[in-house]
Structure 1
Amino acid sequence: MLERSTSATDPIYEAYALGECSEATGFDWPYHVARRLLQEPIDIAITAALAEIGTLAGADRAWMFEYDAELLRFRNTHEWSRQGVRSFVEDLQDTPVTMIAWLHQFLAKGRAVMINRVAELPRPARPLQVEMLRQGDRSVLSVPVFHDGRLRACIGFDATAAERRWSAAEIGALFRCAELIALARYGSPRDGQPLADAARTFAPLIYLRRQGQIVGVDPQTILGVRSARDYAKVWLRDGSTVLDLRPLTLWAGLLPPALFLRIHRTAIVNLQHVSGLDRRVGDRWTIGLGQLAEPWPVSRPYRQELRQRLGV
């Protein structure tokens, strides 16, 4: 890892096209991203990949945000932050692109932007600068994510402890990481999972946290949540599970009641993913959830409402 502080002779910001970084090699970040994308469900993989390359890059945060279909709004979706560094991933949701208009003009042209000194950004970047300073950013690297010629998202690094200038080689490596993420998230479907399409409007996300990594998930992709003592275990549609640090009682208030129902004092399920109700074994009721092999038990106090909601 090449750590490079900024100097007074460095420009305040720099914009790079991929072609300007093509000769700069020597970083294996794309390998780490590809390995994650091949081994894990897409959202978990993206966050884990950001954690790996963010650590390798000496960043204090690594993140991703996505645009809506018209490129008028954006929202944060994935983030890793170094221990002791505050997370802001939940703050910018359904945010007008006008707030990042100065940055967006470069991203839309396929150019990465290396902001060496956030505090000295030009006046047209003032709305973006205010937000970056609020988050404690001193230097920021942003790389566009394109698929089929469309700008879909942006990934990048924040430096909060000190000003940083990432090299052309590192920017080129991050460009290639962006290409891999675009192929995995917006390209061919994998394991029967639907592709992520640009949303007309953004549905509220629920943010799952694990080991400094944060991923925003649409509530519709959650199969169910079970109590795990003081924590909760979350099952996702892609087959992954996440141990979340919040208790089930808190989850009961997070999940939209139109989709979710408590079926046990220790379990809440997404009714859209109920694949069957089994009442054949004595007084024991169970339901199937998605492709999960193990059925979930339904306790007596919750059976009547379950039948009404399922229409059986």
Structure 2
Amino acid sequence: MMASFVDITEIKKANLLIERKLEIQRTISSISSMFVSPKNIDDTINVALQKICELCGCSRSYIFRFSNDGEWMNNTHEYCPVGVTPQKDSLQDLPVSMFPWWMDKLHKDELIHITDVSTLTEEASAEKEILEM
């Protein structure tokens, strides 16, 4: 009797990766189509933030608007799931200089994806402090 075994672990991993990429593409496509001719831009932005939050599995997602002089920023839109306390009202008129790590990343067009606030380095101490709230 002869037996043959094939380890399909790598195939399963590849399939999971493909599924995740498809999920990301579907979400991006869905969000993009919502902005073609929105009836209410604020509602549309809020739904988009919800979809982003759900896709990433995060506790909240924000949009900040920078002042014309680039010195201040305000949280204009926020989504957080049930059970997470909104912070939008307390994130107003924030001096950009307060967040050097974030601003450096933004100026370099780098992605800011924080999976665990507690792991932020000393370099991001100001950002860590506000995110821990």
Same fold (TM over 0.5): yes
1:105-120 to 2 correspondence within 5 Å?
Answer: 105-120=104-119
Equivalent positions of 1:1-312 (< 5 A) are: 25-26=21-22, 27=24, 28-38=26-36, 39-134=38-133
Task: Quote the Cα distance in structure 2 between the aligned partners of 1:116 and 1:97.
Answer: 22
Q: Deviations over 1:82-123 (max 9, x none)?
A: 111110011111110122111110111111122233223222
SS in 2 for 1:51: helix
Answer whether contact 1:32 1:53 (CA < 8 A) is retained: no
In structure 2, distance between residues paired with 1:54 and 1:115: 13
Residue in 2 that maps onto 1:293: none
The residue that corresponds to 2:9 in the other structure is: none
Identity %: 26
What do the CA deviations read for 1:183-219 (whole angstroms, capped 9, x no partner)? xxxxxxxxxxxxxxxxxxxxxxxxxxxxxxxxxxxxx
Q: Distance in 1 between matches of 2:126 and 2:72?
A: 15
Counterpart-to-counterpart distance in 2, 1:116 and 1:128: 13
Distance 1:126 1:82 in 2: 26
Tell me, yes or no, if the aligned pair for 1:47 and 1:80 is still in contact at 8 Å. Answer: yes
| Residue 25 of structure 1: how far off its partner (Å) | 4.0
**Deviation of 1:73 (Å):** 0.9
Question: Could you say if the C-alpha distance between residues 117 and 57 of structure 1 is closer, same or farther in structure 2, counting changes exceeding 3 Å?
Answer: closer
Q: Secondary structure at the match of 2:79?
A: strand
2:41 and 2:115 map into 1 onto residues whose CA distance is: 31
Rg larger in structure? 1
Counterpart secondary structure, 2:76: strand
Residues in 1 aligned to 2:92 and 2:32: alpha-carbon distance in whole angstroms? 28
Q: What is the distance in 2 between the residues matched to 1:106 and 1:62?
A: 18
- Computed over aligned residues only, the root mean square deviation of the Cα atoms, in angstroms, reads 1.8
Per-residue deviation, 1:127: 1.4
- How many residues are matched? 111
Which residue of the partner structure matches residue 149 of structure 1? none
Q: Evaluate the alpha carbon distance shift between residue 79 and residue 31 of structure 1 in structure 2; reply closer, same or farther with a 3 A threshold.
A: same
Change in CA separation of 1:53 and 1:117 when aligned onto 2, cut-off 3 Å? closer
| 1:309 matched residue in structure 2 | none
CA distance in 1, matches of 2:110, 2:45: 21
Structure 1: stretches of 5+ with no match in the other structure: 1-23, 135-312
The structure whose residues are more often strand, as a share, is: 1
Counterpart residue type for residue 95 of structure 1: L
Secondary structure in 1 matching 2:89: coil
**Higher RCO, Cα 8 Å, sep 6+:** 1
Cα shift at 1:41:
2.3
Give the secondary-structure state (helix, strand or coil) at the position aligned to 2:112: strand
Q: Distance in 2 between matches of 1:42 and 1:107?
A: 24
